[in-house]
Structure 1
Amino acid sequence: MKFKKIKAFYYIKAFCMLAYPFSLKRKNLTKILSDIDKDSDEVKFRVNYYNKLSEKQELPYDNRTIEVGKFKLKNYSSAYFFDTLEYIRYFPKNNRFSPLFGDITYTPKTPCIVKTRPIGSNNQNSVLLNLNKFRHFNFITDPYQYDNKLDLLVWRGHVSKLKQNRIDFLEKFHNHPLCDAGYTNNWEGNPDWKKGWLTIKDQLKYKFILCLEGVDVATNLKWVMSSNSVAVSTDPKYETWFMEGTLKPDFHYIKIADDFSDLEDKLTYYINHSEKAKAIIANAHQYVNRFRNKKREKLISLMVLKKYFEITSMSSQDNS
């Protein structure tokens, strides 16, 4: 059973985009945006969640802002470039936008297209698109049933001085009887905390999988929530296209304190109440299913960008 996507296929498809005349895509935009689903509560909610802009404002003329027609691969990371190009190519070439790529943990002063943003009510200048999705958006089919899994929490990941929460966790739980946890990178810290790398399939043998934020979001949260294991996490501080800010603690995932002080009690409780754990898994599956409709994901992405261009006063009728 396959648990990881093949990167070569992603790039073959991505480079094929460059060969397709963008003018044909722009002619299809009106047709796509006429989809009957655009007026559904789900679509409207998600468009306005990703793009919270409400007051018109022009983008500054700076080195970050670029015209759609001048958006070139050589200037950006390939994954971010292709994931943006997939949707930006539907809009006029002289529309201007501000891409802000990477692990963004702050809200910019002007409206930017980002992968991540801080969760909160004052993040409207961070307009979310599903960027770097090959790495972050990986849903799986779990071959194991919850009841047949180990009564343990598993975690593998990278640690560094930028990820103090992970260091704090390992300091407390690297040798705990309910945890199989360790770092896998070449970190200069405690070598006793280092453990061998585990595949996704290896980790699926455990009932509980820890999802710890790194510089921004926890990369494994999406595939864990699509599995038959339970995601265990502190309250998320950052969010992506997955809308981590809408997740409900102890409903979509098992919430633990930021200092991990209640982790042992939470694990013990759910080990002894399997029906509660299975309910969280069912809720997580239902949440994940919101993102499986490719046609709707495309519609929402284009509507987010359309709203962005309209509000930043740069929408154009020029379809050349």
Structure 2
Amino acid sequence: MKILYYLKHAFLETIPRFLFDFRKRSLEKTYTSHNYWIQSRVSYYCKLDSNFALNNEFTKVSDYRRKGYTSYYFDLKEFLHYFPKSYRFNYYFGDETHIESAPTLFKARPIEGDNVNSVLFKLDKRRHFRFVEDLLSFSDKKDAAVFRGAVTQPHRIRFMQEMFNHPLVDAGQSNNSDEHPGWQKPFMSVEEQLQYKFLICLEGNDVASNLKWAMSSNSVVVTPKMKFETWFMEGTLQAGVHYIEVEDDWSDFEEKIQFYIDNPLEAEKIVKNAHDYIAPFKDEKLEQLVCIKTLERYFELSGQLEKK
């Protein structure tokens, strides 16, 4: 798969610019009826409502080079092909959520506070935007929740301290730990995790990397209130509608999980809502157009592209 990934991006380098223009027009024609929805997403990713000035720290498209973060680099480069090489932009790669002083392309940003200068783009998508075909119905799954993942951040450590021995949770740490060796458990595949009715999604340095595939399953996501968001627009997800929200100290976990075990139809409503939310993100051509339009808006506001 990695070879195909690199071959795809090598091929994109050989395509003349006018073919990218043709592709863009074709996508716009295909999704004419989606214009309002596309613009609402673009406005969410790029919250800027006024023009901004460029400075010497902005990178020219022609000078954009790979410096680590390979997936980030290619995920952005794929759509820079649609714009002139003289255009300039600011970007920041990695699991970082600080706010820059100038409008900057980021993978993630804080949901609350002044986050206008963080313009969200679809980065590291091979890791984050994975979906599953779940063959098990909610009713056929185990009456318990599951978690597997690295436990290094304080909020994940707190989760393990509170929930590791809970009878309704199968929790396991994937990284080595001298401090809590008992928390370590063998690797559990996605297919194995799908045996459980509830999937615990914990934010890491930014968002939970398993959130997208978990919401595409027939299980229900369980998480404390989310603090960060990405291209997936986590800030628009609603507790009790798309997922089960628990307190940061997990004090209400058992009460809420037992409610949905006793009321499976309510859980299945959440599963359906989650699937409905996921659906547009699974339309690859639509996703491509939204990516193009987001960069287009960024370049408009920087005064490099005339507004249409």
> With structure 1 as the length reference, what TM-score do the two structures score?
0.91
Cα deviation for residue 309 of structure 1 reads 0.6
Which residue, 28, 33, 37 being the options, matches 1:42?
Answer: 37
Amino acid at match of 1:140: V
Q: Is 1:307 aligned to residue 297 of structure 2?
A: yes
| Residue correspondence of structure 1 range 202-281 to structure 2 within 5 A | 202-281=192-271
Cα deviation for residue 209 of structure 1 reads 0.5
Cα deviation for residue 297 of structure 1 reads 1.1
Cα distance change of structure 1 residues 94 and 141 upon mapping to structure 2, 3 Å threshold:
same
Q: Where do 4+ consecutive residues of structure 1 move more than 6 Å?
A: none
- Give structure 2 stretches of 5+ with no counterpart: none
Q: In structure 2, what is the Cα distance between the partners aligned to 1:85 and 1:206? A: 38
Match of residue 91 from structure 1: 83
Cα deviation for residue 258 of structure 1 reads 1.1
Q: Is 1:113 aligned to residue 105 of structure 2?
A: yes
| Residue correspondence of structure 1 range 125-136 to structure 2 within 5 A | 125-136=117-128
Cα deviation for residue 45 of structure 1 reads 0.9
Match of residue 60 from structure 2: 67
Q: In structure 1, what is the Cα distance between the partners aligned to 2:179 and 2:150? A: 11
**Alignment root-mean-square deviation, CA:** 1.8
Count how many residue pairs are aligned between Structure 1 and Structure 2. 307
Cα deviation for residue 316 of structure 1 reads 7.6
Contact 1:153 1:180 in 2 (8 A): yes
Q: In structure 2, what is the Cα distance between the partners aligned to 1:306 and 1:38? A: 19
Q: In structure 2, what is the Cα distance between the partners aligned to 1:141 and 1:93? A: 40
SS for the counterpart of 1:271 is helix
Amino acid at match of 1:128: L
Alpha-carbon deviations, 1:266-286, whole Å to 9, x = none?
111111111111110000000
Q: In structure 2, what is the Cα distance between the partners aligned to 1:144 and 1:12? A: 35
Cα deviation for residue 146 of structure 1 reads 1.0
Looking at both structures, which has the greater relative contact order when contacts are Cα pairs under 8 Å and sequence separation is at least 6?
Answer: 1
Cα deviation for residue 198 of structure 1 reads 0.4
Alpha-carbon deviations, 1:218-239, whole Å to 9, x = none?
0000000000000001111111
Q: In structure 1, what is the Cα distance between the partners aligned to 2:216 and 2:22? A: 36
Contact 2:61 2:88 in 1 (8 A): yes
Match of residue 156 from structure 2: 166
- Give structure 1 stretches of 5+ with no counterpart: 1-5
Match of residue 200 from structure 1: 190
Cα distance change of structure 1 residues 38 and 79 upon mapping to structure 2, 3 Å threshold:
farther
Which residue, 12, 16, 24 being the options, matches 1:21?
Answer: 16
> Percent of aligned positions with the same letter in both sequences?
40
